[in-house]
C-alpha cells in the first residue's frame, strides 16, 4: 500500500499549493515548510539559513572558504568551533528527516531530494510536476512578483535544483525513470490533485494484487 507521495516540481508550477491540497484531501501530513523547520531545528540554525541552502549547492566563494578551512592549520584547529551550516550538512539532515517522515507514513513530501532518497521504497508514489514557462511566470505574477522577478526566478531556480541533483545524486534532473507520473499543472491545481489520486488508486491496486 502506498503510504508516501513525493512531489518534485519545477519552480513556479504550483507544486507547493498542489501538495497542500493533496495532503488535505488524503488527511496525510504535509512535509514542506515543516520539513524545513525540522532541518533547522536539528541543525541548530534559523529557518532562513536552511531555506538559503536547501536544494542547491553552496556558492563558489563558500566552497573556497571551506576548502581553505580544511587545508589550513588555523582552520583545522577552529573548524569544529564554527558549526558551519553548509549544503552538505543540510543534505545529511534532510535525508534523516525524509526517512523519518517515510517511516511514519501517510506523508506528502515536497522536493528536497525526497524522490531520490525514497526511490527504492515500494510504498512510495513519486510525482513530478511541470508547466510551460509562461504559465509559471503567470503564477508568480499572481503571487505579487514583478515581471522581471518572475522571469528571473523561473530561469534560475530550476538550474540550481538540477545542479543540486547532479552534485549529490549523480543523475540528470528530472530523473524521469524514477517517477510514476509526470503532470503538466496547466490543467489547474484541483485537476492535478485528482490525477494524482487516480494514479495513487491505480498503483495501490497494482501493488496489492
Domain boundaries along the sequence of the chain: 4-208
Q: What is the tens place of the pLDDT at every residue in 149-196? A: 999 999 999 999 999 999 999 999 999 999 999 999 999 999 999 999
Average per-residue pLDDT in the chain? Answer: 87
Residue 110 — very low, low, confident or very high, per pLDDT cuts 50/70/90?
very high
Q: What is the pLDDT of residues 34-52, one digit of tens each?
A: 999 999 999 888 899 889 8
Average of per-residue pLDDT across 133-138: 97
CB 185 within 8 A of CB 131: yes
pTM: 0.86
Fold of 4-208: Rossmann fold (3.40.50)
139, HSE (Cβ side, Cα atoms, 13 Å): 22
Q: Which residues pair with 182 in a beta bridge?
A: 128
What whole-number distance in Å separates Cα of residue 117 and Cα of residue 8? 12
The predicted-structure confidence for 48-102, as pLDDT tens digits, reads as follows: 988 988 888 755 434 443 444 444 434 444 444 444 577 888 899 999 999 999 9
What is the bridge-based pairing of β-strands 29-31 and 124-130?
A: unpaired
Look at residue 119 in the predicted model and tell me its pLDDT.
Answer: 97
- Helix H or strand E encompassing 205: helix 189-208
pLDDT of amino acid 74:
41
pLDDT for the residue 84: 59
Amino acid at each position: 500500500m502506498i503510504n508516501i507521495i513525493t512531489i518534485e516540481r519545477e519552480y513556479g508550477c504550483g507544486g507547493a499549493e498542489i501538495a497542500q491540497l493533496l495532503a488535505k484531501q488524503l488527511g496525510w501530513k504535509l512535509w514542506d515548510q515543516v520539513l524545513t523547520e525540522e532541518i533547522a531545528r536539528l541543525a541548530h540554525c534559523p529557518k532562513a539559513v536552511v531555506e538559503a541552502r536547501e536544494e542547491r549547492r553552496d556558492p563558489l566563494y563558500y566552497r573556497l572558504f571551506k576548502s581553505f578551512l580544511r587545508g589550513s592549520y588555523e582552520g583545522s584547529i577552529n573548524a569544529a568551533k564554527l558549526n558551519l551550516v553548509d549544503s552538505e550538512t543540510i543534505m545529511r539532515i534532510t535525508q534523516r528527516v525524509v526517512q523519518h517522515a517515510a517511516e511514519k507514513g501517510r506523508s506528502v513530501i515536497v522536493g528536497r531530494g525526497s524522490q531520490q532518497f525514497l526511490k527504492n521504497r515500494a510504498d512510495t508514489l513519486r510525482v513530478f510536476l511541470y508547466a510551460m514557462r509562461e504559465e509559471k511566470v503567470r503564477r508568480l505574477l499572481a503571487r505579487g512578483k514583478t515581471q522581471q522577478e518572475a522571469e528571473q526566478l523561473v530561469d534560475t531556480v530550476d538550474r540550481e535544483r538540477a545542479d543540486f541533483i547532479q552534485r549529490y545524486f549523480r543523475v540528470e534532473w528530472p530523473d524521469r525513470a524514477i517517477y510514476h507520473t509526470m503532470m503538466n499543472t496547466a490543467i489547474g491545481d484541483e485537476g492535478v490533485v485528482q490525477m494524482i489520486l487516480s494514479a495513487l488508486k491505480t498503483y495501490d491496486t497494482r501493488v496489492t494484487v
